[in-house]
Amino acid sequence: MTDMPSSLPTIRLGSQGPVVSAVGLGCMAMTGSYGPRDPGEALHTIHHAIDRGITLIDTADMYGWGTNETLVGQAIRDRRDRVVLASKVGFVPPEGGTDGGRGINGSPAHIGQAIEASLRRLGTDCIDLWYLHRVDPQVPIEDSVGAMADQVRKGHVRHLGLSEVSATTLSRAIKIHPIAAVQSEYSLWSRDPEDGLLDACRDLGTAFVAYGVLSRGALAGTLASAADLAPDDNRRNYPRFAADNLDRNLDIVRQLEAIAGRLGISTAVLAIAWVLDRNRQPASPPIVPLFGASRPARIDDNLAALSVSLTDEDRAAISAAVPPGLVAGARYAPDRMAAIDL
């Protein structure tokens, strides 16, 4: 490891997309997804991230059903020009969905209404990167992306993205409008994008934004057992955090802790560094990891990953500790997995 760089490296999202910091801040958990959060501490954390050079700030209209966008809008009000603001559209409460109860609506009518609400909550006249959060199985992707492209032409959005899509869907969407980035879960625990999606992003000139790089905190070294989860922690709804599965999965974390210890870094830093290291592979698209943080100190800790250079020996040790498919349990409960475009 070396000292922390004075400015963060950058990556361009897509051939025509924005230039962003090499890591981004995901804000979902700041409005209670994993238990109560202090709004003042959340604001302080976002400010600290921006002050440290993180430019990509990621939210969505469904995080807290609008409260997250409101929080982010408040946080960036006096520093909007320093932020590449990303949000998402497509999830709605179950009764508002077109997909048989899963709460997804990618219709042009909904997209047109949702942008107005997001802009109002965010306190801005333009979103820099707007993702379709999930593909609506009742609406052709061409129609959803076409409606989003209308918002680009109106000046309400600068660039488009897709979340949790297949390579086939990406190839269809990009014929309608340039797609700057695809966002999907990708981590030492979740390797699905390696089954063709990363290759498609590379071939089509689209960047890849990885969420869940700390596996919802499991790779941050903050969990010892399922008993550490608060009663209202949404992770209790994820199969990987069910008691039996989590016990097995934390054994994997302990193996990673040993590797991280030999490198003199935390498990969280190792997990982020592993995703960043994908950029050093010759066949990789540009990859930007998003991490969450509950307080400013976490920002500083996680940014240390930018100074980690993994060797071939390190990569081999990590691969031996966490081969693809080893993690117990699915990423989401069955109804949520059904919303993933495979």
Positions marked active-site: 63
How many separate helices (H) and strands (E) can be counted in the chain?
11, 10
Residues 6+ apart with CB under 8 A from 290: 23, 24, 25, 26, 56, 58, 183, 209, 210, 211, 213
Residue 27 identity: C
DSSP state of 240: G
CB atoms within 10 A of CB 284: 15
One-character DSSP codes across 120-137: HHHT-S-EEEEEE-S--T
Spacing of C-alpha 75 from chain mean position: 19
Asked whether 130 and 161 are in contact (CB, 8 A), the reply is yes
Place of tokens 């495979």: 342
CA nearest to 222, candidates 210, 211, 214, 231: 214
Angle at 114 between CA 110 and CA 119, to 5 degrees: 160
Q: 129 — phi, psi (to 5°)?
A: -140, 115
Asked whether 123 and 74 are in contact (CB, 8 A), the reply is yes
Measure the CA–CA gap between 164 and 270, rounded to whole angstroms.
Answer: 24
CA nearest to 80, candidates 35, 36, 125, 32: 125
Q: What is the dihedral of CA 13, 15, 180, 275, to 10 degrees?
A: -40
The CA radius of gyration of the chain, in Å to the nearest whole number, is: 19
